Amino acid sequence: MLTLADSEILNSALLELEGCEFLGPVVAVHDRPVFELVENPFRALARIITFQQLSGKAAETIFGRFAGLVGTDAGMAPEDVLRFDVETLRGVGLSRQKATYILNIAERFHELDLTPVRLFEMSDEAMREALLPIKGVGAWTVEMFLMFYLCRPDVFSPGDLGLQKALVPMMGVEKPKAVEMMAFTERWRPFRTVASYYLWRSLEDPAVNRGPRSSD
């Protein structure tokens, strides 16, 4: 499966986006993104759930306690988590809801035998089909997982508020709809993950013209 952890794939994406009338100016003033393929997808997904709606420091502390309870960190497996119930997981600082979600994820990974090797070989669509039925795992979570942990090159998240905001001046629409955003971002296929990175970065640069370049 192609990933952005491959420097040649990332180079191709950057070359393509440098010539884009919308993102070219943003690419020019920001550093090259770094994409590193995660070794343990299950741990990564549990971490995403833990970090939702929390400050980084607080979430890191809670996740560290969670890993300590489970008794493993880098090698964390679904079966390690399934030894505990919701109340025990709450004892490390997880909310009842997050503890339930992490157990749901562990059950699904165990049920479908979603090993790292199998996950790395799955298509983006197959990944969505496997993960979206999990209560507590929505489209945004799966999209961030695909982008930043599995380094898939062509993922866009229309439900992300930052991406919505970044597209407003480019599309000339105050509140773009998901279907409109998906149509607009087709121009960046097959590198919409990298395009998304620069859309987020564009929010840091109000002085950078994110509209189309003048033909004059």
Measure the CA angle with vertex 33, ends 30 and 34; round to 5°.
150
Task: Enter the tokens of residue 133.
Answer: 């039925």
pTM: 0.90
DSSP assigned state of 177: -
Predicted local distance difference test score (pLDDT) of residue 210: 55
Q: Which residue has the tokens 């919505």?
A: 164
Write the DSSP string, 52-98. TTS-HHHHHHHHHHHHHHHT-STT--HHHHTTS-HHHHHTTT--HHH
Mean pLDDT of the chain: 93
Using the Cα atoms of residue 58, residue 60, residue 64 and residue 70 in order, give the sign of their dihedral. Answer: positive
Predicted local distance difference test score (pLDDT) of residue 30: 94
Distance, C-alpha 42 to centroid of its chain: 14
The residue-averaged pLDDT of 180-206 equals: 95
21 or 209, which is more confident: 21
Question: 90-148: per-residue pLDDT in tens?
Answer: 999 999 999 999 999 999 999 999 999 999 999 999 999 999 999 999 999 999 999 99
Predicted local distance difference test score (pLDDT) of residue 1: 86
Give the type of residue at 103.
L
**CATH number belonging to domain 41-149:** 1.10.340.30
Question: Residue 86: is its pLDDT beyond 90?
Answer: yes
CB count within 10 Å of CB 187 equals 13
Predicted local distance difference test score (pLDDT) of residue 61: 96
Q: State the CATH class of domain 7-36+156-202.
A: mainly alpha
**190 upstream amide cis, omega within 30 of 0:** yes
Confidence of residue 216 (pLDDT cuts 50, 70, 90): very low
CB count within 10 Å of CB 159 equals 12
Distance, C-alpha 196 to centroid of its chain: 10
Predicted local distance difference test score (pLDDT) of residue 211: 53
Predicted local distance difference test score (pLDDT) of residue 215: 35
> 164 and 150 in contact (C-beta within 8 Å)?
no
> 136 and 97 in contact (C-beta within 8 Å)?
yes
The residue-averaged pLDDT of 4-9 equals: 97
CB count within 10 Å of CB 134 equals 18
Predicted local distance difference test score (pLDDT) of residue 162: 96
**Whole-number percent of the chain with pLDDT over 90:** 89
Question: 27-77: per-residue pLDDT in tens?
Answer: 999 999 999 999 999 999 999 999 998 888 999 999 999 999 998 877 899
Q: Where are the domains of the chain?
A: 7-36+156-202, 41-149
